[in-house]
Amino acid sequence: MANWMIREKGYQESDAATLGNRYLIGNGYIGIRGTLEEYEADHLPAINLAGIYDRVGEGWREPINLPNGCFTYLKVDEDIYRLPEREPVSHEMTLDHRHGVFGRETVWHTPRGNITLKTERFASMHEKNLIGMRFRISADFHADVELLTGIDCDVWDLNGPHLEDILMEESGDIAGGELIVSTHTHEAGIPIVVTECIHSDASVEIKSKRKEMKLLHRICLITKPGESAVIEKWVAVYTGKESYEPRKEATDLLKRAYSDGFETQLKLHMECWEKLWKHSEVVIKGDEIAEQAVNYSLYHLHSIAPRHTQSLSIPARGLSGQTYKGAVFWDTEMFMLDFFIMTDPATARTLMKYRIDTLEGAIAKAASYGYEGAFYAWESQEGGYDACSDYNVTDVFTGRPMRTFFRDKQVHITAAVAYGILRYVEWTGDKTILDKDGVRTIIECARFYHSLLLKPVEKYRYEIRDVIGPDEYHERVNNNGYTNRMAKYTLEAAVRVIGEANVEGTLPEGFDADEWKKNFAVAAERLYIPTPSNRPGKEGVIEQFDGYFDLEDTTLDEVRGRLLHEKEYWGGAYGVASHTQIIKQADVVTWLNLFDREYDIQTLRANWDYYEPRTEHGSSLSAGMYAMLACKIGEPDKAYPFFLKSAMADLKGGGKEWAGLVYIGGTHPAAAGAAYMTAIEGFAGVSVVDGELKVRPSLPRSITGMEFNCYCRGVEYKVSIDGGNAEITPVGS
């Protein structure tokens, strides 16, 4: 039986940030960090909102953290009991990651006995704008207790404050009273309303209280030994982006929830989760650790999936806060998309529709650099706006921003968009996404690479120079193999879709199909793609970029020993790795994963063996690519620890939380997606060949079998693996 509960026993204040990520709950519209109810801004609580961004002054533009409607603490006999101010007798946090329910139980000792606070909360999958909470208070004596709960408007922001003209009001529209906070964003003036109401069958006194930017209910009660007082709480969130009357909508939702009661709304919420797991749960036989880790990873992907809209993507840090500016990276297409394609094709379409709908922003970015076509944002916000700064890292020694070239030179992002759209089409068979705008997106991606090509006078080939590949420790290199191969893929993809679009009449108006088809085909044919080396000691290894093999060939430990500061950035002009062969993350290995059928197993193995010892794995994206390639060379046991590293990126923690002096902590949905890809495409060996679902298992020794469902070409299949044997059955047959 799968384990769907994680627990944290004991209390350490220093763990607040990490546990906030690990115990996150969400529904794709909002994400609620797994912090304790009594925490204020200095302990990083956040109710993070999807798809709305704001910039204050010269600070980074980032998503909105809402007023904290979960804020709560206890008073017993007029003394405050909350963490970390009062040391507990015992403390435990839990997360039911099958149903997205966070829990805590804390016991404090008072002069007259012990008092216990238990809480539950969920971000409703049934009503995206609703948060449900329930408190149980008990004591082993007749305690005079106050529960203070409401909305904390002192919001934790990295580069704020983003909310202006905060208005705190009370209303009697709901029994027990409604608390209402109205505000709007600084930059665009988007209205935001957070409302709260409570309900209890116990005999309580309810009073509102304003204090220090907090609007609170004060619930007074006297406990009886052996009995628990139960209080239910509802929080509703609406914005002007989705409603003309956000305040009315929020109040109406509170009334419905209040009338239904906690158990009814919790049941509806859990039923939604069960529907998701029906299509996505992965059963791993013989290895409970792997099974829990992969399903916990999928929990996080489900929690941040934008099912409430038809055009939105997933930020690199999910909905765990404002780090990475809440921006969308290549993480979505290259690491998360496969999970949704195979388990929830409608959401996969939403993710790719976001890229199609932000095409104009990508065209504008390309033009700003003097290129044609579409140069997609490295850190994409709404409209395709690139939030990436020219100074993305802070020097730990001088405190000054360091010039980086992520925005300018990571041109492989455009190929990720084209790849994602066509990956969706390949698996789903849904060509409707290639309407006029979809076809145009592929064509504009190809036009970008066409305009980027250089032809040396003395050579017949085309090259792509001055770029950054997936390995960000080496900037402004020439002919990064991954970038060139993805550009070739995009050019060839444009040739294919132009041919199909000619028939369907979806080409852009005035577009000369024959001319551009020829241009793209010639460019793809002549574009230089590095080949396996025949250098002694490097036979079969593909050089990551021009001159890579001439860099200092040293060890990770040696380079790590050169650091003068633990938060020092390894790349850039002066980074300790920039003049060595030590790389940040899978680069050539990522390329070979995508195009493994073009190489023999000896070449794949040679590159895995060469690059892995030289990879720092400074990104959570890296381990999954090494795991998948290990499966493809018949080494699933070698893949296994890399699989666990991806699957436990948030469950175990320990990843990088700083880039220089910039905090980059948060959840790791790309690693979660990579864990799924390793399990399904690596260990189970799932692929699409000529439009048909194929399975070729390559299980590590600890795994004896697997079961999961998978969509392919509009049909859902159940895949059952027992050792090396696999059975594929259409669901319902």
Tokens of 715: 């049909």
SS (H, E, C) 481-515: HHHHHHHHHHHHHHHHHHHHHHHHCCCCCCCCHHH
Active site residue 472: yes
How far apart CA 234 and CA 127 sit, in angstroms, is: 12
| Cβ(695)–Cβ(710) below 8 Å | no
Tokens of 196: 């709260």
Angle separating helix axes 262-280 and 246-260, nearest 10 degrees: 100
Angle, CA of 70, 74 and 80, to the nearest 5°: 125
How far apart CA 658 and CA 661 sit, in angstroms, is: 6
| Cβ(306)–Cβ(332) below 8 Å | no
Tokens of 544: 């990551």
How far apart CA 162 and CA 676 sit, in angstroms, is: 36
Looking at the chain, how many residues does it have? 733
How far apart CA 153 and CA 67 sit, in angstroms, is: 5
Q: What share of the chain is helix, strand, coil (3-state, %, to 5)?
A: 35, 25, 40
434-449 b/e with 16+ CB inside 10 Å = b?
A: beeebbbbbbbbbbbb
How far apart CA 122 and CA 560 sit, in angstroms, is: 42
Question: Which residue among 62, 281, 472, 475 is the active-site one?
Answer: 472
SS3 225: coil
Using alpha carbons, select from 665, 706, 712 the residue that is nearest to residue 687: 712
Per the listing, tokens 């509960």 go with: 5
How far apart CA 672 and CA 294 sit, in angstroms, is: 7
Active site residues: 472
